[in-house]
A and B are shown apart, each in its own frame.
Chain A
Amino acid sequence: MKFESEEALKDHFTHEGVLHKILPFRRWQRWELTELQGFFGVPDYVVAYHRQSPDGNVLLRSVAVEFKLSNWRRALEQAYRYSLFADYAYVVMDAAYVARVKRNLSIFKRANVGLVCAAAEGSAEVFHRPRLSPFRNSDLGEEFRDFLTARVAEDRVYAA
């Protein structure tokens, strides 16, 4: 069964918590945002996972996601932009079109963009997990991290 729309795919992944079950940050707290503008492209969904380390520092990992039903190439181009400032970038697609995108999995690997295919029935399969982005220390990456750090701090999650 296919998803009816990208919005339905996105809702399934975010509200149903599917994304958080497949990423290795289950015990971390999270701060979420949709349609973030001002960096490079407009990610459909951004989540900043954060926790306090034993020595009191705040650890932060950002994940930017592009949802697409079937246009894997367009999704990859958009998600690649996010990888230039976020720690991890993923494309999430409708599993009904997995055959076409799987033939091009090597491009996702070379681009260091993650690929997940989700089925409307509830399952999700990770075809590629990206490594920590090499651009996180670039000017754009640092600017993004400063932005998220400030937003997380506003939540006053961690005591001074």
Chain B
Amino acid sequence: MTKTIHQLGHNSTWNIQAHDEDGVGDGFIISPMHLGKSKLADWPVERRRRSFFDPQFVIPGDAKKNLASYEFHPGAGGDDFATQSYPQSAALPNASSCVAFQVQNDFRALVIPSRHLDVPIEDYIRQQHSLFVTPFLTAIKKSKSKKQIFLQVFLTNRMVEEVAYRDSLITWLSSLEEIDGVYLVPSYKERSGKHITSPAYIVGVMELLYKLKQNQILTVVGYTNVEGVLYSCAGADWVGMGSYENTRIFNIANFADAEGGPQQGPRPRIYAPILFQWIDYRYREPIVNANKGWVFADNRYKVLLWQLPTGKWNFQRSELYKHYFVEYTRQLQRLGGVDESTRVKSLYSELDNARSEFDRLESAGVILDSNSGGGHIPFWMTALAEFARARGWSWR
């Protein structure tokens, strides 16, 4: 069964509270950019043992925010090398330091980081091997740690959509006998809204997940939004579950050390699990007035939110995200516990029902915009059907 795991970011307290008080989420993925080394040191041992640590070597030359407090991060020492380069001479020392840190903190597993690269497969494998895989495996062997080892992979569009590239990637990953799992981070370009709407990309990720599972490689899919339900049908072991949108949608720009002015906070949105959609809070009243308030599902956080006057809603209300953590985890639990082919049929049926509910909302006079209106649902149904068809499964 696919489990949710908290993808930590700016307000990790909410994730921790949801984990401890509501029992949702099978641990954490730590973001050192948001949690400095001294604060992490205050964490209880039990919480660290349930956590993956993401070293975030995404852009090696940039140590943004709290990343600079981790001396093993390539950008922390103020080394004067270009953002896009990462000298071989730094690879083993950084790897040794990073592994020592992970071992010392007794994290759930050891994570080998990766750079975000969009290059031909031969170059990709060569660079990852020389800069990360070999140095880190060397350091791990020296540490004598018995922890499981996960390799991070940023999934660009071509890695996933080009069959030859994807097959080469699977071949390479399954050839690494020391690796127990992969920590995948979908990095989908051409996103026009809040969801991935390319069936080719979604099917590509699902194919990757399914084949890795066949090779008995564990999979964590990070920075996922609601599309995690699709990945569960391909056998993902964990899917990330974040609060703010930047923990549910990967954007490399968030790791660049660029100057920027103050940004306006987003409008608060509330998750409607029946619709597989986060909905702008300003549509809440017309939806409720149309006797469709049940689409938001009931838990104690919805009760708290419904008591608030509209003027008190803002994107920093923890109830919005805790409500989502509970409902999203429930969705995956409902889908889980059966084999993937049964899961596909169940999810297809639920997506079809969501599409009908959006139609019924419109018939009731509620006109939702493209960011709240479920435009992604038909694409997800197409992707699910294509994935099922490829393995001779039925989906209706």
Residues of A within 8 A of B (CB): 40, 76-78, 80-81, 84, 107, 110-113, 134-135, 138-140, 143
**Known pairs A84-B286, A140-B310, A143-B311; A77 contacts B368 (CB<8 A):** yes
Residues in A whose Cβ lies below 8 Å from that of B263: none
Q: Is the CB of A139 within 8 A of B365?
A: no
Contact of A139 among B309, B363, B368, B373 (CB under 8 A): B309
Q: Is the CB of B286 within 8 A of A135?
A: yes
Q: Is the CB of B369 within 8 A of A77?
A: yes
> What residue in chain A is nearest B267 (Cβ atoms)?
A40
Instruction: Kindly state the separation between the CA atoms of A69 and B26 in the bound complex, as whole angstroms.
Output: 52
Whether B282 sits at the interface, judged by CB under 8 Å, is yes
Question: Interface majority SS on A: helix, strand, loop or mixed?
Answer: helix
Q: Mark B356-371, 1 if CB is under 8 A from A, else 0.
A: 0000001111111110
Q: Is the CB of B363 within 8 A of A110?
A: yes
From 163 to 208 in chain B, residues with beta carbon under 8 angstroms from any chain A beta carbon are none
**Known pairs A110-B364, A139-B311; A81 contacts B285 (CB<8 A):** no
Q: Is the CB of A107 within 8 A of B367?
A: yes
Whether B38 sits at the interface, judged by CB under 8 Å, is no
Residues in B whose Cβ lies below 8 Å from that of A81: 282, 369
From 268 to 312 in chain B, residues with beta carbon under 8 angstroms from any chain A beta carbon are 282-283, 285-286, 289, 309-311
| Closest chain A CB from B101 CB (angstroms) | 47
**Which 4 pairs across A and B sit closest by C-beta, in order of nearness?**
A139-B310, A80-B367, A110-B365, A77-B369
- Pull 11 A–B residue pairs with CB atoms less than 8 Å apart, ordered by A: A77-B367, A77-B370, A80-B367, A84-B282, A110-B364, A110-B365, A111-B367, A113-B367, A134-B289, A139-B309, A139-B310
| Closest chain B CB from A106 CB (angstroms) | 9
| Closest chain A CB from B113 CB (angstroms) | 42
New contact pairs (10) apart from A110-B363, A140-B310, CB-CB < 8 Å: A77-B368, A77-B370, A77-B373, A78-B369, A81-B282, A110-B362, A111-B366, A135-B286, A139-B310, A139-B311
Instruction: Kindly state the separation between the CA atoms of A138 and B311 in the bound complex, as whole angstroms.
Output: 10
Residues in A whose Cβ lies below 8 Å from that of B362: 107, 110
Q: Is the CB of B282 within 8 A of A140?
A: yes
> What residue in chain B is nearest A41 (Cβ atoms)?
B369
| Closest chain B CB from A152 CB (angstroms) | 22
| Closest chain B CB from A91 CB (angstroms) | 11
Instruction: Kindly state the separation between the CA atoms of A110 and B286 in the bound complex, as whole angstroms.
Output: 12
| Closest chain A CB from B194 CB (angstroms) | 15
Contact of A40 among B282, B289, B370 (CB under 8 A): B282
> What residue in chain B is nearest A40 (Cβ atoms)?
B282
Pick the most buried of A77, A112, A143: most chain B CB atoms within 10 A of its CB.
Answer: A77
Residues in B whose Cβ lies below 8 Å from that of A112: 365
Residues in B whose Cβ lies below 8 Å from that of A78: 369
Instruction: Kindly state the separation between the CA atoms of A112 and B367 in the bound complex, as whole angstroms.
Output: 10
Instruction: Kindly state the separation between the CA atoms of A159 and B363 in the bound complex, as whole angstroms.
Output: 47
Instruction: Kindly state the separation between the CA atoms of A45 and B239 in the bound complex, as whole angstroms.
Output: 45
Residues in A whose Cβ lies below 8 Å from that of B370: 77
